[in-house]
């Protein structure tokens, strides 16, 4: 559970929440994950979201130039 104290940034003196969203080119939100305290890094949110597993991301092989 997030509390005011857990999302407060003493350095910037602000409260912060972060969400991870995935939006299609036409503006449709297809993935929303969070909230996380603002101090969390984006890669930590991505790892916890399981989005990579859901999307089954693949990379295209590089072609050699002849």
The pLDDT, as a whole number, for residue 63 is 52
Q: With a cut of 50, list the residues of the chain below it in pLDDT.
A: 59-60
Domain extent at residue 35: 8-50
Residue 62 lies in a domain: no
For 9, residues 6+ apart whose C-beta sits below 8 A from its C-beta are 15, 16, 38, 39
Contact by Cβ (8 Å): 17, 35: yes
The pLDDT, as a whole number, for residue 60 is 42
Residue 55 lies in a domain: no
Q: Is the dihedral of CA 18, 20, 25, 27 positive or negative?
A: negative
Residue 40 lies in a domain: yes
Residue 57 lies in a domain: no
The pLDDT, as a whole number, for residue 39 is 82
The pLDDT, as a whole number, for residue 19 is 92
Residue 3 lies in a domain: no
The count of structural domains within the chain is: 1
Residue 29 lies in a domain: yes
Full-model pTM: 0.63
The pLDDT, as a whole number, for residue 65 is 54
């Amino acid at each position: 559970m997030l509390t005011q104290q857990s999302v407060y940034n003493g350095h910037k003196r602000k409260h912060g929440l972060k969400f991870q969203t995935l939006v299609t080119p036409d503006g449709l939100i297809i993935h929303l994950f969070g909230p996380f305290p603002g101090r969390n890094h984006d890669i930590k949110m991505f790892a916890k979201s399981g989005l990579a597993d859901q999307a089954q991301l693949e990379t295209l092989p590089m072609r050699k130039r002849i």
